[in-house]
Copies of this chain bind each other. A is one copy, B any other.
Amino acid sequence: MNLELTREYISELRAIIEARDDKAALAMMNDLHPADIAEIYQELNIDEVKYLYMILDPKVASDVLVELEEDDREQFLRALPAEEIASQFINNMDSDDAADVIADLDDLVKQEVLKHIKDIEQAGDIVDLLSYDEHSAGGLMAKELIKVNENWSLTTCLREMRKQAEEVDDLFYIYVVNDDNILTGVVSLKSLLIATGSTIIKDIYDKEVRFVRTDTSSEEVAQIMEKYDLVALPVVDSIGRLLGRITIDDIVDVIRDEAEKDYQMASGISSDVETTDSPLRLSRARLPWLIIGLVGGVLVAALISQFEGDIKLNPEMAFFIPLIAAMAGNVGIQSSAIIVQGLASNSLGLESTFRKLVKEFFVAIMNGLILSLLLLAYNLIMQQGLALTYTVSISLFVVIIFAAIFGTMIPLFLDKMTLDPALATGPFITTTNDIMGLFIYFLMGRILYDAFAVI
């Protein structure tokens, strides 16, 4: 049932494509879901893909186009005339998919394609959708939905639904509107099943309907659908008129993209990339963070150079530089990761910033004590010099507390400034904490070596 994509399958298909054997090629893709065909396309070159598009049923080919990665789709569409894009693909798509595909085209081609859409209503829908920000409910919604008037009887309702159902792929909820197209409620398929023909919709529909406005952010849409376990969410304009609906499959993508973005930022990768991208693109996505790291490293070097005399006298101070730097970075990242995730999933609750800081402070004291004592025991056993032993343990403790407080405050501060808190993770926080941590370490070293020298 589920396609297992194998090397053998791909090479067989390639051989068939080379032989231009339409029938055999179609047979190999028979019964495959468009998402499977899209996966196959990613293993083929552009000429092979073009050939397969030509022989596929246009409806299937359109579905495959929607499932393709953005880059592959752009590359493929660039080779086609606008008229063909409109008649072969856009005509067969839902309004939201069509708008997504058209939004990625160059401005000139975009206008051309829109002109060539035969169905004026569809073209109008697409133009409407293109006007919304792609990260808003308006940009996520499809115009296709099933709606009924609250004054209809069940019989009228079923008749009208049959008409509308031809345009809509999945039927989840039936929305209820009044004569002005204002959303007033929702009626479940279940209650339609149970009701009899003469029932009036008004008497059975549920007035408690959750909805969003076109300008609601995609993150908020995701939070609402996730929290209330919805598979579709209606979208209204500022006066409450029903404009479209967002389905869960689009929201699953939003959730995954958001989680991946935070993870990539924490790992120092600045834009959305995948292993299948080109080396140049992979390199570009990573270089900015690495340069920040490099600049940070140079600043740290300048800081340490202020303590050159200390190192010359006590070269063993240098042994623990990586330990202090790494622990400062690790603790800072741990604290910030918790905050960034809490902000992303909106699960921070009402607990005040102050309480969060107090809590992080306690965690830091506990972990700091345990780790410093472990290190103290190790250094005493290894018979390191006492000055070094105490310098390392005491500064580790202080550094852990500072790093935890920084790690908590920086993302909260960025969020208050309406910046992405995930900026606080990755090389940025590591570098800040390195500088702070090593300054504390060398300062503590100077004080304690002097103190032990006196003793």
Contact = CB atoms under 8 A, between A and B. Distances in A.
How many monomers of this protein are in the complex? 2
B208 A229 contact: no
Interface of A: 1-2, 5, 7, 10, 31, 33, 35, 39, 42-43, 158, 161-162, 165, 168, 170-172, 188-190, 193-194, 208-211, 224-229, 231, 248-249, 251-252, 255-256, 259-260, 262-264, 266-269, 273-276, 279-280, 282-283, 286-287, 289-291, 293-294, 296-298, 300-302, 304-305, 308, 311-312, 315-327, 329-331, 333-334, 336-339, 341-342, 345, 347-351, 356, 359, 362-363, 366-367, 370-371, 374-375, 378, 425, 427, 430-431, 434, 438
A348 B275 contact: yes
Contacts of A341: 260, 263-264, 274
Nearest to A368: B290
A325 B328 CA distance: 13
Contacts of A316: 305, 308
A211 B135 CA distance: 33
A262 to B, nearest CB: 6
A193 B163 CA distance: 10
Contacts of A286: 331, 334, 363, 367
Which of A260, A282, A291, A427: most chain B Cβ within 10 A? A282
Contact of A325 (B302, B322, B375): B322
Given A2-B224, A319-B301, A338-B282, A189 B162 contact: no
B318 A294 contact: no
B330 A290 contact: yes
8 contacts: A42-B349, A162-B194, A171-B193, A276-B348, A282-B363, A293-B327, A326-B329, A326-B430
Given A301-B319, A329-B430, 17 more contacts: A7-B350, A39-B349, A158-B193, A171-B193, A255-B256, A259-B259, A259-B260, A264-B341, A266-B266, A268-B333, A274-B341, A275-B349, A275-B359, A289-B330, A297-B326, A302-B319, A308-B316
A438 B33 contact: no
A46 B388 CA distance: 49
Nearest to A208: B31
Contact of A275 (B162, B249, B279, B338): B338
B252 A327 contact: no
A188 B168 CA distance: 12
A341 B257 CA distance: 11
A355 B348 CA distance: 43
Nearest to A392: B301
A322 B322 contact: yes
A290 B226 CA distance: 33
A228 B33 CA distance: 8
Contact of A267 (B7, B210, B337): B337
A294 B371 contact: yes
Contacts of A43: 349-350
Contacts of A359: 275, 279, 282
A92 B249 CA distance: 29
A337 B263 contact: yes
Given A170-B231, A315-B308, A330-B427, A322 B297 contact: yes
